Structure 1
Amino acid sequence: MKVFVKGTVQGVGFRPTVYRVANSLGINGYVLNKGSNVEIFLDKREDEFLKALRREIPDNASIDEISLKEEQGKYEGFVILESSEGVKSSLVPPDTATCDECLDEIFDRGNRRYLYPFTNCTNCGARFSLIKDVPYDREKTSMSEFSLCRNCKEEYRDPLNRRFHAQTISCPECGPKYMLYDEEKNAIEGNPIKTFAKFIDDGATGIMKSWGGMHLVCNFEEVGRFREWYRREAKPFAVMMRDLETASEYVYIGEHEEEALRSPQRPVVVLKKSEDKFGVLDGISPGLDTAGIYLPYTALHHIFFHYLKSDGIIMTSANLPGEPMITRNEDAFNLNVDVYLLHNREILNRVDDSVIRFYNDKKFFLRRSRGFVPHKIKVPHRKNVIGVGAEKNVSVSVSTDGELYITQYIGNTSYYPSLEFLASATDHLINLLDIKEISGIGIDLHPRYLTRHFGRDLTERFSAEIFEVQHHWAHAVSLMVDNGVEEPIIALTLDGAGYGTDGSIWGGEILISSFDSFERIGHLEQIPLIGGDAATRDPRRIVFAIFEMLGKNSGYFEEKETDILRNLMKKSPTTSSFGRVLDALSCYLDIGIKRTYDGEPAMRLERYLNAGERKIDFETEVVDDKIVRTLPLFDQLSEYPDKSRKADLAYSFVYALLKKMTEVAIENANANGIRYIGITGGVSYNVPIVKIVEKFVEDGGLEFLTHDQVPNGDGGISIGQNAVAGVRLER
C-alpha cells in the first residue's frame, strides 16, 4: 500500500517519525520526500500505522490530507530513500525557537555543542530563512557549503537520534561560525559572543546577525544616544528580555501573552508597561503605555544572555531608513556601529520579527513574518491568484487550489530596495509552490503605488487578468477570509488613508462587503488635509482646518502662517479618515502634536483612551443618510479649554463618534438581513476602540468580527485583493 501525506511535512522530522513508527510495528517498506509531500510504502498493518503516526506526529508538523493507493511490493526492512521531484503543494515550516533539548546541550559543559550558537535538531531552528527549494534537503539550503563531520554524520544516520535526517545539523567542527569586528572592520580576538556582550553592557551599539536578518543592539541606558544616532526620535523599539520572569518585572503578562512569548514562534508581543518600570521603558516607547517585548529564540540569543549582565536589550531590525533589513555581512558595515557580531552562513530569505498584540484571545498582527511564514489559510476560490498589497507594511499573497500563502513582511514599497524584495519574495513563494500559471492579479486603486506597476508586470508575465480592488474593500474582505465568513458583512474599515472610488482619500468607512462587490453605506465627513501629506506629519494643520470650518481660531499659528494655510486649504485634498480625526484629537489635547513615525499621534492617544471614562455627553449626527459628522464633536470639545481631563475628553469624543458609526452599521445590517459587523484597518489595532465597537454590536444583537490570523492593517490588504480577484474569476 502506498500512502501519500500532504501537509507541513518537510524539515520537521516527519520521515524519521515514519521510520520509527514503521519499525515499531515490524512493517517493511520505505518513506521519501516527493516534491513537498511524503510518499510511504507499507507492506502491512496500514490502519495501525496511520493511527500511531497521528499520535506521534512531531510538534512542528501537521497533516492536511492522507491518500492511499493499492500497490504491491517487497522490501527488506524499512528505509528512508533519497528525495525525488514531485508536486510542490505544501511548504517547509517556519523558523522556530531553539527547543529545550538543544538548550540543555548548549549549556552542558560535557556536550560537544557546549555554547555552540548554531545548535538545532529536527524539532527547532532556522527553516524558511535558509531554504532555496523543496524537497527540503541539505543541498537546497544555505547549509550546503558546510560538509558534515564524522560525528554529525553518525547522528544524521541514526534512526534513534533526534537529529536523524536533520538537514541543518552542524557542530563547532563542521558548521558555521561567528566572528566579531570593530568599526574599522578589523577582527576582534577572543570569544566573539562573550566579547560582544561585554561591549553592549559597557554602552556600545552593535549589529547582531541572526537567522533571517540582522538586529541593531544596545542597552537601555543608551537609548537617548541610540535614537540620536539612528535618527528615530520617538518610534518604539523592540526589547528582548533575558527570560519570562525578568520580563514580568517590566510589563504585565496575561495568559495568552505568556503563551505567545513562550511559543516556538517567539513573536514580539505588545504589552502594558508595569508601574515600577514605566520610567525605564519610557525612552524605548515614548508616550505609550505599552512596549514590544520578546524572548530569546536562537541559540545565539541564549548564549549572549549567558554572558550579558543586563536584564534586556533594545533589539530592532537593522536597516537603512525605508529599506529592508540587512542580510549581507558587507552591507552591515554601512550602518557604522561600534561592533559587529556576524556569521558566515548566507541568509537566503529575509524574515523580520513578527509583532502581535492581543485582544482577549485574538492575535492582532502588526507584522506577520518570522515564525508565521510560510502559513496558509483557506480562500473561497481555487484559482491561482496573486495579491500585491498597497504601499506600506506590504505582504504578498499567492493562492492555489483553495489555499492562500502569505509572504513575509516586505515593508514600504515606495523605496526601490523594498520593491526588489517584494519581487524576490513573490518569486520564491511561487517557486516553492511550483506554480506555472497565474490567472489573476489583485492591485490597489491608488495610481501612485509602485505595487500597481509590479502587479501589471506580473500580468504581462503570466498573461493574467488584472483586478483593481479598492483599499477598504480589501480590508473588509481580509476580515471575511480571516473569519471564514462567506456571506456579506458590514465592516467599519478605519485607517489613515486609502484611495477611494471617487478619487478622494477614504479612511472612516462603513461598507457592506461581499467577495464580488461592496457598497459604501456610510463614512465620516470630509476634512481638508492642508498641504496633503504635510498635514499627516503636522496634525496642527488638521486642527486648523477643522476650526476654520467651525469659524474658530485653533491658536497654533501666527497671522502670517494663518493666511498661507487659509489659501492652501482652498485647494487641499479632503479625507474621511478616522486616523486623521484621531491625530487631530491627539493634537488638540496636547498629547501628540507632531508625527515622527506612522500613526504616532493616534498611538499616543490610546494611553488616554485606556484611562478615560465617558463622563461627558458628546453628540453628533448623520446627514444625507450616510455622512457621520465629526465637526460638531470638535465644536463641543472646544468648550472644554481646561485639558486636564484629557483622558475623559478623549474617551467621550471617540465613544460618541463610534456610537453613531455603529448605529449606521446596525441599521443597515437589520435592513439587509446581515448578521455580522466587524472592524478592520489600522485603527483596529487600538484596543479601546475595538472594545467600544464590540459592545455596541453585541448590544444590537449582531455578531462581531475582528482579526486573528490576517493583519488588521495594510499587511492584510493582499489577502483581500486575492480573494476578490479569485472569486470574480470563478463567477
Structure 2
Amino acid sequence: MIGARVAHRIEVRGTVQGVGFRPFVCRLGRGLGLDGCVRNDGGVVVVEAAGSIEAMRALAARLRTDAPAQARVADVRVSALNGSAPATGTGFRVVRSTRRRPAGTGAEVGLIPPDLGTCDRCLTELFDPGDRRYRYAFLNCTDCGPRATIVDALPYDRVRTTMRRFDMCAACAAEYADPADRRFHAEPIACPACGPRLAWHATDHGPAAGGHGADALAAAEALIRRGGVVALKGLGGYQLVCDATDEAAVARLRIRKHRPAKPFAVMVSGLGAARRLAHVSAAEAALLTSVARPIVLLAPRPERPTAGSVAPGVPRIGLFLPNTPLHHLLLADLARPLVVTSGNVSDEPIAIDDADARRRLAGLADGFLGHDRVIRSRYDDSVARVVAGRPSLVRRARGYSPEPIGLPVAAPEPLLAVGGQLKHTFTVARDGTAIVGPHTGDLEQQATMEAFEANLARLSRVVGVTPRVVAHDLHPGYLSTRYAAALPVRGRIGVQHHHAHVASCAAEHGVTGRYIGVAYDGLGLGDDGTLWGGEVLVADLVSYRRVARFGRAPLPGGAAAVRRPARMALGYLFGGEPLDERSRAAVLRAAAPFLGRLPEREVATVRRMVAQGVNCPVASSAGRLFDAVAALLGLRDDATYEGEAAVALEALAGGHPAAPELPWRLVTRDDLIVYDPTATLLALLEALRDGTDPGLLAAGFHATVAAVTVALCAEVAARERLRTVCLSGGVMQNQSLVETVVAGLSGAGLEPLVNERVPGNDGGISYGQAAVAAARIRMDARG
C-alpha cells in the first residue's frame, strides 16, 4: 500500500568508518524524511530507520550509489527492525557508537580507513587569511586527514583515537555536531585553539631558535633554506627533509643516512611543479593527485633543476605532492622541491615515537619539527607507477594500507600470512577479506622485526582477527618463517615463494582457475632445494607445476654475489649451467676484457670456488642474470641497494627503444623448457669488444628477455590450453621489460595481468600466501 510506514535495520559493511559515512547517512535520512538513527557498531555501520516504503527503498539503494568517495561498501543487509520503531516526527540523527564484540573475538573484520591527503576545500581554508584555520598545520574534515595512523580501536570515534587528548573548543564542537557542516563527526577535527601544535627542537649542531606553532615552522624553513636537514613528524612517521636543489645538502643527507646511491623521493607543490621535473601522462597525473598521494615513478626531464645526487643513474624519479597541511605550508613557503625521505638510517624502520626519533635521528638531522599528536601506527610513504596505462603499486603503505583487498576464495577461518624476508609485509584474512599490513622493510634488522611484531599485534587486535592458521615461505632461514613456526596456531601452511608471487597477481584480479604464472625475481627457495628466480609455472590458487626456467648459475659466496654483481658475472662465466659447452668456451674468451679489469686474486678465488663447489649455491634467477649483464657492461661491479645494477641497466637501455634482440635459444632439460643465456651473453660480449654502444646492448638484452618470455608463455599456452598469464616478481618492476612483455603477450593472443593493488615484489608475497592458504583450507574442508 502506497504511503505505508515500515521500519528496517540496515547493516553496512566495508570501509565505512572514518570516511564520513555516518554524516552522509544522517543527511540522506533527513533528506528522505525518515525517522531513526545511524551508529558505528564494531566495524559495521548500523542504520535503524522508519518511513514510507519508497523512502526506505531509496535509502537502501543510495547507501551504495551515493556513498562518500572514499567509502568502499561491500555489503548492505536489510532486515525488519525488531522492537519499537522510531516514532513519526522524531527526526534522524547520529547516535553513540556501540561495540558488537570484544576486540579480536568477533565475527566481523573491522576495517580501518587509510590516511587521506588534504582535500581541496581544506586547502582553500589553509591559505585563506580570513579563515580561523588559516595556516593551521592540522586542519582536516570528513574527506581528509589522519585515519589509520591515529586509530586505537574500533568503532572509529574520537575517544578511540590519539585525538582524544585534545578537548574540542566551542567552535569545533559546534561544527562536529552540525549535520550540515562538512566536519560533522570528523573525528580528528581541530583548530589552533584546541588542537595539536607544532614544536621545534634543535640538535647540538642545529640552530637554537624556534618555539611552537608558526615560530616552529619558521625555524624549520630557515634551516632548510640554509642547506640543513630537518626531521619532520609526518602522518605515519618521521621524515628527513632538505632542499632538493642543493647538491651539498643532498650529499650531506646521503652520508648521514648511509644511503650512497638509492634514489630519494622529491615532494613538489603541485602538478605544474611536477611537470617541470618529469614527463607526466594523464594517468600519472591522476595517480599523483589521488587522495592517497603516493610517490609516483616518472620519466625525468634532463633539464630538471634538482641536484644530481637526488636520483643518480636511474630511469625514473619519484615525485609526490603534499599529503598534509604541514607539507603544503612547507612547499608554499619555500617555493622549491624538497627531498622528503623516511626518517631512519637505511634499512631501519621509520621512527614514530618522539623520544626514539630524537635518539635515532639526532646524527642525521639539524633540527626537529614535531608536534603533540601521537602517531599510533607506522606508515611509510607509498610508491606507485603506471604500467600499460594502469596504476601499479611498488610499495603499499600510507594512503592504501590497511584498505582491504578481496580474496577470490574465502578463508574459512582466520589466518595470518607472514610474508618473506625483504620488503616485508604481512596479511591478516578472514572470509573474503584480506588486510595487507603496511610496508615494514627488511627483516634482517632486529628493529624491523620488532616493528613487524608490534604492527601485527596492533592491527590484529583492532580489526578483530585472531589467526588460527599461519602461511609462510618455504625458506627455513627467513625470520618470518621462524616467527610462524613459533606461533601457537592450529595449522601452518608453507607456500613456495614464486607460487606466492604469481598467486598475488591472480588473486587480486579474481582468477581462481588455472593460469600461466611468470615469476622473475632475485632469489627464492624452490621445492627442489635450489634457488629459483626465473620461473614459468602452470598454477591455480592451490597448487603449481614448474614448466620452464632460466639457465642456472652459481652465486660465488652466496649473499656476497648479490651485493657484488661482478661476482655474479663470474658465476655465469665459470659455472653457468652446461647447456652448450662450445658457446661457453667462446664466452670465456670474449670475456677477457671484463676479467682483465677485475682484481686478479678475486678472479682466481672465484674460479676455484666454482670449480670446487664451495659456497656456490646455484640459482635459475632472472634478477641475478640482470646483475651479471650490468657488470659485464661495466655499469655496476658492486650494489649498495637491492636491484641497483638492474636499475642502472634499465636506465642505460632507455635511449634505444627499438634495439634488436640478441641471440637466444630454448632447450629441454628434465621435462622443463630452459632459457639458455649462453648465446645471449656471448653475443653481448663480442659486440661490446667490437665497440658496440653499451646502451644499445642493454636495450637489446631487455628485448631478448621479453622475447624469451613471450616464447615460453606461447609454448606453454598452446600445450596447456591456457590464455591468462600472471606476471609477478621484483624483476617485473622493470618498466621497460614488463611493458614490452605485456605488449608481446597481447600480440600473441594471450591475456597478460600484472600486479596493481599489491606490489609485484616481495611486498606482495604475504597477500599471495594468504590467497593460497585460503584456497587450500577450503579444498581440505571439502575433502
TM-score, length-scaled by structure 1: 0.96
Number of the residue aligned with 1:650: 698
- Following superposition, the deviation at residue 342 of structure 1 comes to 0.6
> Structure 1 residues 55, 452: CA separation in 2 closer, same or farther (over 3 Å shift)?
closer
Larger mean Cα displacement after TM superposition, 540-549 or 330-339: 540-549
Could you tell me which amino acid in structure 2 is paired with residue 107 of structure 1?
A: F
* Residue 153 (structure 1) aligned to one of 173, 181, 190: 173
Number of the residue aligned with 1:59: 69
Secondary structure class of the residue paired with 2:379: coil
Secondary structure class of the residue paired with 1:356: strand
- Counterparts of residues 21-40 of structure 1 (less than 5 Å): 21-40=28-47
- Following superposition, the deviation at residue 642 of structure 1 comes to 4.2
Number of the residue aligned with 1:177: 197
Number of the residue aligned with 2:598: 557
Secondary structure class of the residue paired with 2:162: coil
* Residue 78 (structure 1) aligned to one of 92, 108, 122: 92
Whether 1:307 and 2:347 are equivalent positions in the alignment is no
Contact 1:527 1:546 in 2 (8 A): yes
Whether 1:720 and 2:768 are equivalent positions in the alignment is yes
Could you tell me which amino acid in structure 2 is paired with residue 620 of structure 1?
A: R
Number of the residue aligned with 1:263: 290
Number of the residue aligned with 2:251: 224
Return the alpha-carbon distance in structure 1 between the equivalents of residues 453 and 600 of structure 2: 49
Contact 2:380 2:439 in 1 (8 A): yes
TM-score, length-scaled by structure 2: 0.90
Larger mean Cα displacement after TM superposition, 664-673 or 179-188: 179-188
Return the alpha-carbon distance in structure 2 between the equivalents of residues 727 and 684 of structure 1: 25
Whether 1:198 and 2:222 are equivalent positions in the alignment is yes
> Structure 1 residues 158, 280: CA separation in 2 closer, same or farther (over 3 Å shift)?
closer
Whether 1:402 and 2:425 are equivalent positions in the alignment is no
Number of the residue aligned with 2:568: 542
Whether 1:457 and 2:486 are equivalent positions in the alignment is yes
- Following superposition, the deviation at residue 401 of structure 1 comes to 1.3
* Residue 463 (structure 2) aligned to one of 433, 440, 458: 433
Contact 2:112 2:463 in 1 (8 A): no
* Residue 497 (structure 1) aligned to one of 523, 533, 537: 523
> Structure 1 residues 22, 346: CA separation in 2 closer, same or farther (over 3 Å shift)?
same
Contact 1:6 1:90 in 2 (8 A): no
* Residue 23 (structure 2) aligned to one of 16, 20, 26: 16
- Following superposition, the deviation at residue 54 of structure 1 comes to 4.3
Secondary structure class of the residue paired with 1:300: helix
Larger mean Cα displacement after TM superposition, 22-31 or 204-213: 22-31
Unaligned runs of 5+ in 2: 1-7, 102-107, 576-583
- Following superposition, the deviation at residue 281 of structure 1 comes to 4.9
- Following superposition, the deviation at residue 48 of structure 1 comes to 2.8
Could you tell me which amino acid in structure 2 is paired with residue 556 of structure 1?
A: R
> Structure 1 residues 699, 56: CA separation in 2 closer, same or farther (over 3 Å shift)?
closer
Contact 1:362 1:707 in 2 (8 A): no
- Following superposition, the deviation at residue 616 of structure 1 comes to 5.6
Q: Over residues 554-611 of structure 1, what are the superposed CA-to-partner deviations in whole Å (9 max), with x where a residue is unaligned?
A: 2233433332222222321111110111111111112223201110000111123332
- Following superposition, the deviation at residue 546 of structure 1 comes to 2.4
- Following superposition, the deviation at residue 664 of structure 1 comes to 2.6
Larger mean Cα displacement after TM superposition, 373-382 or 682-691: 373-382
* Residue 12 (structure 2) aligned to one of 5, 8, 23: 5
Percent identity between matched residues is: 33
Contact 1:440 1:726 in 2 (8 A): no
Q: Over residues 622-680 of structure 1, what are the superposed CA-to-partner deviations in whole Å (9 max), with x where a residue is unaligned?
A: 23242211122112222121455112212223323442343232212211121112321
Whether 1:621 and 2:666 are equivalent positions in the alignment is yes
Return the alpha-carbon distance in structure 1 between the equivalents of residues 380 and 411 of structure 2: 30
Whether 1:188 and 2:210 are equivalent positions in the alignment is yes
Secondary structure class of the residue paired with 2:377: coil
Return the alpha-carbon distance in structure 1 between the equivalents of residues 573 and 704 of structure 2: 19
Size of the aligned set, in residue pairs, is 725
Contact 1:525 1:628 in 2 (8 A): yes
Contact 2:521 2:731 in 1 (8 A): yes
Contact 1:95 1:126 in 2 (8 A): yes
Return the alpha-carbon distance in structure 2 between the equivalents of residues 194 and 654 of structure 1: 49
Number of the residue aligned with 1:589: 633
> Structure 1 residues 538, 643: CA separation in 2 closer, same or farther (over 3 Å shift)?
farther
Return the alpha-carbon distance in structure 1 between the equivalents of residues 750 and 176 of structure 2: 56
Contact 1:215 1:316 in 2 (8 A): yes
Return the alpha-carbon distance in structure 1 between the equivalents of residues 255 and 690 of structure 2: 34
> Structure 1 residues 615, 157: CA separation in 2 closer, same or farther (over 3 Å shift)?
closer
Whether 1:344 and 2:372 are equivalent positions in the alignment is yes
- Give the CA RMSD over aligned residues: 1.8
Q: Over residues 170-195 of structure 1, what are the superposed CA-to-partner deviations in whole Å (9 max), with x where a residue is unaligned?
A: 11111111111111396724611122
Return the alpha-carbon distance in structure 2 between the equivalents of residues 215 and 681 of structure 1: 28
Number of the residue aligned with 2:78: 68
Secondary structure class of the residue paired with 1:144: helix
- Following superposition, the deviation at residue 26 of structure 1 comes to 2.3
Contact 2:424 2:442 in 1 (8 A): yes
Return the alpha-carbon distance in structure 2 between the equivalents of residues 25 and 682 of structure 1: 52
Number of the residue aligned with 2:680: 633
> Structure 1 residues 164, 603: CA separation in 2 closer, same or farther (over 3 Å shift)?
same
Return the alpha-carbon distance in structure 2 between the equivalents of residues 162 and 314 of structure 1: 33
Whether 1:143 and 2:171 are equivalent positions in the alignment is no
Return the alpha-carbon distance in structure 2 between the equivalents of residues 563 and 320 of structure 1: 36
* Residue 534 (structure 2) aligned to one of 486, 508, 532: 508
- Following superposition, the deviation at residue 53 of structure 1 comes to 4.3
Whether 1:130 and 2:178 are equivalent positions in the alignment is no
> Structure 1 residues 576, 67: CA separation in 2 closer, same or farther (over 3 Å shift)?
same
Number of the residue aligned with 1:328: 353
Return the alpha-carbon distance in structure 2 between the equivalents of residues 621 and 78 of structure 1: 70
Return the alpha-carbon distance in structure 1 between the equivalents of residues 228 and 343 of structure 2: 15
Return the alpha-carbon distance in structure 2 between the equivalents of residues 497 and 619 of structure 1: 23
Return the alpha-carbon distance in structure 2 between the equivalents of residues 382 and 232 of structure 1: 41
